[in-house]
């Protein structure tokens, strides 16, 4: 088990053939929270241009928790490569997750990265991951962009198999029209690969890294429209076949067999849609190799959009309805009533029970009736007597209470009072702190604010990687704590909370404290009752097991928890 790293370093692998006209190092993770730096495959950007000579500038010394412009707090490094780094960060002003590319201001590509980012930001097309800020400050150049926690890379979508026909059609339609709009504004991508294409939870396709990813790696092209068109064809080819349309393996996909050249998708896998197969070939083989199919090659995204429009529209699959379960007759319905008898069968009516018509039967009926009347009379008398006794007892009780109201031997139950919290501090038993600057949010009276843990890969129990995470609270003076009520942000699985009596706000170790209570819950609140009375000024709320939760704007999916509110009673 390991906590999600905040300083992940990944180096590009540029092995394999280069079927296109430009090549660069690996891509950055531009906004998928659940997929930190996956672009480790060979990059195949199109175009006849070359790659700018890489300057080995030293990347700035940054770390998790560092703030840019007193606003963007760096959380996790997802790429550190070639003099620049890419981070998942938090915009503390708008309280949302963002992505940040950072490189030294004296880097040879700094000026081109700034220019590309500002040009991309001016496009404002929602089909692209938006650039939010591009700044040169304190010897650093950084580009801030959207982070989409609900989106999934095409790489991950293709891992289990090729896309369904309608999904592939929607993907190529939306990507081609988006790139056509970008080229009309003079912007090219040049690194359009499965890591740069995302599908959101609503089914919309988004493109990340427009112009910026190529600028970060010094990629240029003399024919940018042709390069991006060929890249769209490669994406469609991969979506239909789960194969990369070149001999080298890339992006988790197997390449084509050596020496066979480029073959149509419907020859690679059975059942591929013929129209989409031809469309992929028209975009990929844009050097005239499609003449045998009597179709012209597509050399620009605009031509590709026109070709898609000429195709018969591919409709989404009909929803599959499950057949209702076979009708089951109940035991009552399995009788013969209301059902026709089979031919040739003689229906025998059931024999009714003999009626009580004899003298003995009549005498028995009168005897039973008399017993019932006697029982009802006796029961009524006993009920009335019991009600009268109860009324007398209640009057006696009232008199006793009135008489003994000032008796010193009465109920001595002490009222429950809420203990005021004077301060708090995060306790770190092992490893790194979680979010020490947010501990005061757990007792500020606002349930919408919280202190949160990191997202852990393994769980729900944190040991042995960490014995736990938590906060020590100062009650101002030594108190007899009876219970603690903890508000939690996430539900599910189970959360285990323990209380410890500590000797200071910064105890030396967990062994120096005394455990006074524990509870496990699956909801969004936990009430820990103290089972061992110890008078203490300092109390530790300690989490040893966390539920599994989905990714959000602050952290990836994993085992995590957040404390919204803490109250102690005594």
pLDDT tens-digit map of 342-354: 555 555 555 555 5
Phi and psi at 82, nearest 5°, equal 55, 40
End-to-end CA distance of the chain: 38
DSSP letter string over 426-456? EE-SSS--S-GGGGGGGSSS-TT--EEPPPB
CA-CA distances (angstroms) from residue 313 to 168, 232, 237, 282, 283?
12, 19, 19, 18, 19
Q: Which helix (H) or strand (E) holds 502?
A: strand 495-502
Strands 84-91 and 483-488: unpaired
Query: Is pLDDT larger for residue 455 or for residue 396?
Result: 455
Q: What is the pLDDT of residue 533?
A: 87
Classify 169 as helix, strand or coil. Answer: helix
How crowded is residue 462: how many other Cβ atoms within 10 Å of its Cβ? 23
Give the burial string for 214-243 (b: 16+ CB within 10 Å, else e).
bbbbbbbbebbbbbbbbbbbbbbbbbbbbb
Q: Which of 461, 456, 525, 449 is nearest to 487 (CA)?
A: 525
Predicted confidence band of residue 374 (pLDDT cuts 50, 70, 90) = confident
Q: Over range 85-100, report the average pLDDT.
A: 95
Range from 85-99, 155-169, 310-324, 473-487 carrying the lowest mean pLDDT: 310-324
How far apart are alpha carbons 488 and 565 in whole angstroms?
Answer: 7
Q: What is the pLDDT of residue 175?
A: 97
Contact 175, 239 (CB under 8 A): no
Structure tokens at 10: 């990944």
Q: Over range 446-461, report the average pLDDT.
A: 88
Angle between helices 165-184 and 301-310 (to 10 degrees): 140
Q: Over range 515-526, report the average pLDDT.
A: 92
Query: Is pLDDT larger for residue 381 or for residue 222?
Result: 222
How far apart are alpha carbons 253 and 241 in whole angstroms?
Answer: 10
Q: What is the pLDDT of residue 378?
A: 74
Q: Over range 486-499, report the average pLDDT.
A: 91
Q: Over range 474-493, report the average pLDDT.
A: 91
Range from 24-33, 199-208, 372-381, 442-451 carrying the lowest mean pLDDT: 24-33
DSSP letter string over 446-497? -TT--EEPPPBSS-SB-TTT-S-EEEEEEEEEEEE--EEEEEES--SS-EEE
- pLDDT exceeds cutoff 70 at 33: no
Give 268-326 pLDDT, tens digit per residue.
Answer: 999 999 999 999 999 997 554 444 455 789 999 999 999 999 999 898 887 766 666 66
Predicted confidence band of residue 558 (pLDDT cuts 50, 70, 90) = confident
User: Dihedral of the CA atoms 187, 188, 194, 198 (nearest 10)?
Assistant: 10
Predicted confidence band of residue 356 (pLDDT cuts 50, 70, 90) = low
Is 181 exposed, middle or buried, given 0-12, 13-18 or 19+ CB atoms closer than 10 A? middle
How far apart are alpha carbons 117 and 134 in whole angstroms?
Answer: 6
Classify 549 as helix, strand or coil. Answer: strand
Give 106-124 pLDDT, tens digit per residue.
Answer: 999 999 999 999 999 999 8
Predicted confidence band of residue 387 (pLDDT cuts 50, 70, 90) = low
- pLDDT exceeds cutoff 50 at 10: no
Give the DSSP letter of residue 555.
S
Greatest distance between any 2 Cα atoms in the chain? 120
Predicted confidence band of residue 541 (pLDDT cuts 50, 70, 90) = very high
Predicted confidence band of residue 162 (pLDDT cuts 50, 70, 90) = very high
Classify 241 as helix, strand or coil. Answer: helix
CA-CA distances (angstroms) from residue 153 to 126, 148, 206?
17, 11, 10
Contact 100, 87 (CB under 8 A): yes
- pLDDT exceeds cutoff 60 at 103: yes
> What's the distance, CA 3 to chain centroid?
16
Q: What is the pLDDT of residue 330?
A: 53
CA-CA distances (angstroms) from residue 176 to 181, 228, 254?
9, 9, 24
Structure tokens at 329: 């007759």
Q: Which of 59, 156, 174, 176 is nearest to 110 (CA)?
A: 59
Range from 302-311, 357-366, 469-478 carrying the lowest mean pLDDT: 357-366
Angle between helices 301-310 and 224-241 (to 10 degrees): 40
How far apart are alpha carbons 543 and 558 in whole angstroms?
Answer: 15
The residues facing 86 across adjacent strands are 79, 101
The residues facing 131 across adjacent strands are 145
Q: What is the pLDDT of residue 354?
A: 58
Q: Over range 36-40, report the average pLDDT.
A: 37
Q: Which of 286, 229, 280, 273 is nearest to 256 (CA)?
A: 280
pTM of the model as a whole: 0.52
How many helices (H) and strands (E) the chain has is answered by 9, 21
Query: Is pLDDT larger for residue 416 or for residue 524?
Result: 524
User: Dihedral of the CA atoms 240, 244, 28, 13 (nearest 10)?
Assistant: 160
Q: What is the pLDDT of residue 351?
A: 58
């Amino acid at each position: 088990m390991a906590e999600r790293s905040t300083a992940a370093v990944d180096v590009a692998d540029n092995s394999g053939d280069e079927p296109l006209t430009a090549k660069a190092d690996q891509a950055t993770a531009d906004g998928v929270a659940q997929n930190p730096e996956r672009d480790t495959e060979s990059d195949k950007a199109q175009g006849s241009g070359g790659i700018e000579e890489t300057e080995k500038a030293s990347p700035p010394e940054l770390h998790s928790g560092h703030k840019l412009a007193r606003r963007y707090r760096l959380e996790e490094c997802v790429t550190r490569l070639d003099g620049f780094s890419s981070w998942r960060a938090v915009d503390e002003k708008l309280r949302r997750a963002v992505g940040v590319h950072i490189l030294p201001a004296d880097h040879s590509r700094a000026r081109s990265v700034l220019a590309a980012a500002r040009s991309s930001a001016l496009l404002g097309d929602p089909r692209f991951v938006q650039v939010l800020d591009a700044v040169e400050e304190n010897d650093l150049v950084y580009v801030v962009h959207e982070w989409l926690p609900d989106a999934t890379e095409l790489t991950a979508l293709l891992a289990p198999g090729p896309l369904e026909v309608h999904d592939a059609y929607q993907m190529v339609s939306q990507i081609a029209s988006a790139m056509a709009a970008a080229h009309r504004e003079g912007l090219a991508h040049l690194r359009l690969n499965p890591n740069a294409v995302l599908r959101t939870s609503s089914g919309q396709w988004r493109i990340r890294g427009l112009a910026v990813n190529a600028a970060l790696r010094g990629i240029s092209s003399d024919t940018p429209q042709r390069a991006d068109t060929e890249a769209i064809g490669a994406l469609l080819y991969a979506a239909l076949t789960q194969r990369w349309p070149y001999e080298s393996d890339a992006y988790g996909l197997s390449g084509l067999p050596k020496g066979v050249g480029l073959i149509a998708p419907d020859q690679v896998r059975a059942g591929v849609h013929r129209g989409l197969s031809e469309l992929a070939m028209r975009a990929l083989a844009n050097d005239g190799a499609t003449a045998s199919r009597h179709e012209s090659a597509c050399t620009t995204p605009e031509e590709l959009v026109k070709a898609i429009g000429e195709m018969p529209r591919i409709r989404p699959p009909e929803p599959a309805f499950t057949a209702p379960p076979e009708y089951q007759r109940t035991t009552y319905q399995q009788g013969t009533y209301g059902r026709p008898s089979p031919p040739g069968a003689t229906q025998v009516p059931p024999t009714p029970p003999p009626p009580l018509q004899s003298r003995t039967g009549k005498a028995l009926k009168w005897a039973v009736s008399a017993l019932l009347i006697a029982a009802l009379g006796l029961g009524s008398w006993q009920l009335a007597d019991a009600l009268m006794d109860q009324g007398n007892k209640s009057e006696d009780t009232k008199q006793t209470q009135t008489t003994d109201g000032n008796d010193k031997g009465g109920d001595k139950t002490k009222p429950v009072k809420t203990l005021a919290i004077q301060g708090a501090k995060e306790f770190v038993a092992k490893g790194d702190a979680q979010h020490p600057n947010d501990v005061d949010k757990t007792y500020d009276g606002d349930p919408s604010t919280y202190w949160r843990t990191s997202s852990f890969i393994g769980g729900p129990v944190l040991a042995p990687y960490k014995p736990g995470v938590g906060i020590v609270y100062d009650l101002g003076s030594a108190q007899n704590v009876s219970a603690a009520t903890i508000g939690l942000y996430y539900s599910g699985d189970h959360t285990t909370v323990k209380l410890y009596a500590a000797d200071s706000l910064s105890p030396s170790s967990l062994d120096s404290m005394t455990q006074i209570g524990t509870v496990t819950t699956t909801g969004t609140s936990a009430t820990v009752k103290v089972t061992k009375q110890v008078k203490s000024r300092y109390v530790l709320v300690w989490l040893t097991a966390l539920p599994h939760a989905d990714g959000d704007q602050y952290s990836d999916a994993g085992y995590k928890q957040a404390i919204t509110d803490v109250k102690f009673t005594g």
